[in-house]
Amino acid sequence: MKIRIWAGVCLLAFLISGCGGSDSYFDKAKSDTQQVWDTAESTQTVLQEKDGQNEECYVHVCGAVAQPGVYKLPAKSRIYEAVEMAGGLLETACFDSVNQAEEITDGQMVKIPTQEEAAQPNVQDAGGTEDGRINLNTADETQLMELPGIGASKAKSILSYRAEQGGFSSIEEIKNITGIKEGVYSKIRDYITVN
């Protein structure tokens, strides 16, 4: 009799403690599984962002295209995609002058020359160079405005500074212009020269 009472008390304690309650056990297992899935999805999102799958690039397309301007594209896009966003090449464009399969970079300027411009590679605009960079010491306002982040007022400030100081001795000196700090400089430094 004592054994039966003892067994009953143990069974009752087992049931009351919840160890025998299948619902709470499965609910906890389900919750743990969901947490693992959430963590996996979060990790995948972070890895995609690191791979650049969720990033965007801004590209300045100019020259012999239908609609020159600044366009937003997904990271790892190609130059031909930027050209398509700009309405495509004009009939006067030199199709072979730019590697359209090249991957774009944020802040890049893609200038498509005309056939006439491409036929005269040694004839430079006053503010341009053979490698396509803008010369801060010789460029006019229009040429300066081709640089990413440089509008009419900043272009005029560059011209004023150049006149007052007698020219730029280095490209870093452009940071002395009001409104051109490290952020703008990092976008244009690959597109400017003082030679």
124-195 placed in CATH 3.40.50.720: no
Query: How many Å from the N-terminal Cα to the C-terminal Cα in the chain?
Result: 107
CATH number of 47-123: 3.10.20.600, 3.40.1180.10, 3.40.50.2300, 3.40.1160.10?
A: 3.10.20.600
What pLDDT was estimated at residue 124? 43
Beta strands in 41-191 (DSSP E): 56-63, 69-74, 109-112, 134-135
- Contact status, residue 82 vs residue 73, Cβ threshold 8 Å: yes
Digit-coded pLDDT (tens) for 119-134: 764 434 445 555 678 9
The band of 43, judged by pLDDT with boundaries at 50, 70 and 90, is: very low
Average pLDDT over residues 171-176: 92
Domains of the chain, by residue range, sit at: 47-123, 124-195
Digit-coded pLDDT (tens) for 67-118: 999 999 999 999 999 999 999 999 998 878 788 888 888 888 888 888 888 7
Task: Check residues 51 and 34 and name the one with the higher pLDDT.
Answer: 34
